[in-house]
């Protein structure tokens, strides 16, 4: 099968298109014929080696964390899926590789594709929707009336998180450039702040939850808008010792993460704010619940641009540029 791989970590190098063996199907796996793959900033961060401390991959590596396609083979113990099913998934860490013609995924990470959207739209959903779900519902446990600040509302996570938070009854503030205001208001944002001309920390106060996806400076500003007992949940770091425990990292990784997150954890504690880092995990059951919300038209995908399989490097460069509104997708078939 054709696949885009990296042979070494590099900031400047491109992905190489090469022939790879079709992966072997284990007892609880499904083999998916890839029709479309979502592109995420995480792919770029893995390519540059930024995450090699917490995600030590063996090279060569096929990148890609989102897939929509058709099941072509099932392992002998698979119960939920059959050949011919249209599915989508965010494969588990260490089994990624959706920038390819085929991928094997454990059935626990797979869900039936929503019937009312295309393969390209479905491929845009898993990683960002599971991130939003795990931040807002699992970690923050948002409820009706909560005030939630979601940074970078027009990004992949932001577009889904706004819709999800509104559905669960929260008041939602977000940041974006002025040209995205109408689009984000349509998605459900109550307050949209132009990050180029206004400081959100001077406009917002007494918030219950912040979903941080930006840099250290923005993370620290976010502390100012939270009320006592509020939650600051970051998907862009710095990771914490608790996260190191979750992933069963070696002792030295725990020490490193403890050091790099000590400043923000201390400041959060002084404000009686709960700071945590979330690295989303694959979860087919949660994805099935997201499917129901998509089919009920409560959540709609936002796809900015679709590239051909041959243009995978261009798609990744476009994601790295930060200009995408919503998600970028590769059409493999």
- pLDDT, tens digit, 9 for 90 and up, residues 143-152: 999 999 999 9
pLDDT at residue 201 in the model = 97
Which CATH code fits 127-277? Answer: 3.40.50.720
pLDDT at residue 92 in the model = 98
Q: Percentage of the chain surpassing pLDDT 70?
A: 100
Task: Kindly report whether the peptide bond that precedes residue 179 is cis, defined as omega within 30 degrees of 0.
Answer: no
Convert the pLDDT of each residue in 206-225 to its tens digit: 999 999 999 999 999 999 99
Residue 316 banded pLDDT, cuts 50, 70, 90: very high
pLDDT at residue 132 in the model = 98
Convert the pLDDT of each residue in 114-131 to its tens digit: 999 999 999 999 999 999
pLDDT at residue 324 in the model = 92
Residue 96 burial (10 A CB sphere; 0-12, 13-18, 19+): buried
Sheet holding 171-176, edge to edge: 191-194, 171-176, 147-150, 207-212, 226-234, 274-277
pLDDT at residue 292 in the model = 98
Residue 46 banded pLDDT, cuts 50, 70, 90: very high
Residue 62 banded pLDDT, cuts 50, 70, 90: very high
The helix or strand, by DSSP H or E, that contains position 22, with its residue range, turns out to be none
Residue 89 banded pLDDT, cuts 50, 70, 90: very high
Q: How far apart are CA 287 and CA 68, in angstroms?
A: 12
pLDDT at residue 249 in the model = 93
Residue 205 banded pLDDT, cuts 50, 70, 90: very high
Q: In b/e form, how buried is each residue of 38-71, taking b as 16+ CB within 10 angstroms?
A: bbbbbbbebbbeebeebbebeeebbbbbbbbbbb
pLDDT at residue 225 in the model = 98
Domain ranges (residues) in the chain: 2-125+301-331, 127-277
pLDDT at residue 159 in the model = 98
Residue 100 banded pLDDT, cuts 50, 70, 90: very high
Topology match between the domains 2-125+301-331 and 127-277: no
State which fold the 2-125+301-331 domain adopts.
Quinone Oxidoreductase; Chain A, domain 1 (3.90.180)
pLDDT at residue 200 in the model = 97
| Averaged pLDDT, 254-279 | 97
pLDDT at residue 138 in the model = 97
Average pLDDT value over all residues in the chain: 97
pLDDT at residue 179 in the model = 94
| Averaged pLDDT, 219-248 | 96
pLDDT at residue 312 in the model = 98
Q: How far apart are CA 179 and CA 181, in angstroms?
A: 6
| Averaged pLDDT, 322-328 | 93
- Residue 106 forms beta bridges with which residues? 29
pLDDT at residue 218 in the model = 97
pLDDT at residue 309 in the model = 98
pLDDT at residue 61 in the model = 98
Residue where the block lists tokens 């840099």 = 215
């Amino acid at each position: 099968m054709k696949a885009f791989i990296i042979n070494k970590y590099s900031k400047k190098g491109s992905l190489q298109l090469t022939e790879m063996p079709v992966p072997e199907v284990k007892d609880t796996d499904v083999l998916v014929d890839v029709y479309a793959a979502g592109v995420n900033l995480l792919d770029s961060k893995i390519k540059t080696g930024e995450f090699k401390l917490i995600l030590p991959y063996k090279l060569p590596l096929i990148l890609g964390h989102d897939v929509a396609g058709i099941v072509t083979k099932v392992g002998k113990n698979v119960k939920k899926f059959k050949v011919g099913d249209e599915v989508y998934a965010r494969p588990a860490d260490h089994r990624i590789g959706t920038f390819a013609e085929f991928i094997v995924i454990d059935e626990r990470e797979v869900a039936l594709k929503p019937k009312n959207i295309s393969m390209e739209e479905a491929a845009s959903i898993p990683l960002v929707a599971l991130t939003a779900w795990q931040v807002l519902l699992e970690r923050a446990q948002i409820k009706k009336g909560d005030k939630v600040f979601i940074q970078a509302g027009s990004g992949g996570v932001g577009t889904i998180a706004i819709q999800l938070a509104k559905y669960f009854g929260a008041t939602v503030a977000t940041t974006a450039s002025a040209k995205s205001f109408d689009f984000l208001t349509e998605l459900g944002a109550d307050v949209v702040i132009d990050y180029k001309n206004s400081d959100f920390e001077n406009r917002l106060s007494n918030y219950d939850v912040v979903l941080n996806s930006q840099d250290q400076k923005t993370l620290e500003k976010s502390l100012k808008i939270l009320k006592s007992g509020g939650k600051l949940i970051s998907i862009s770091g710095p990771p914490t010792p608790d996260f190191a425990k979750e992933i069963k990292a070696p002792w030295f990784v725990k020490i490193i993460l403890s050091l790099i997150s000590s400043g923000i954890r201390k400041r959060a504690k002084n404000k009686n704010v709960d700071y945590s880092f979330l690295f989303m995990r694959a979860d087919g059951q949660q994805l099935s619940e997201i499917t129901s919300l998509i089919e009920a038209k409560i959540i709609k995908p936002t796809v900015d641009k679709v590239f051909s399989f041959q243009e995978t490097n261009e798609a990744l460069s476009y994601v790295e540029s930060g200009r995408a509104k919503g998600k970028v997708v590769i059409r493999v078939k």
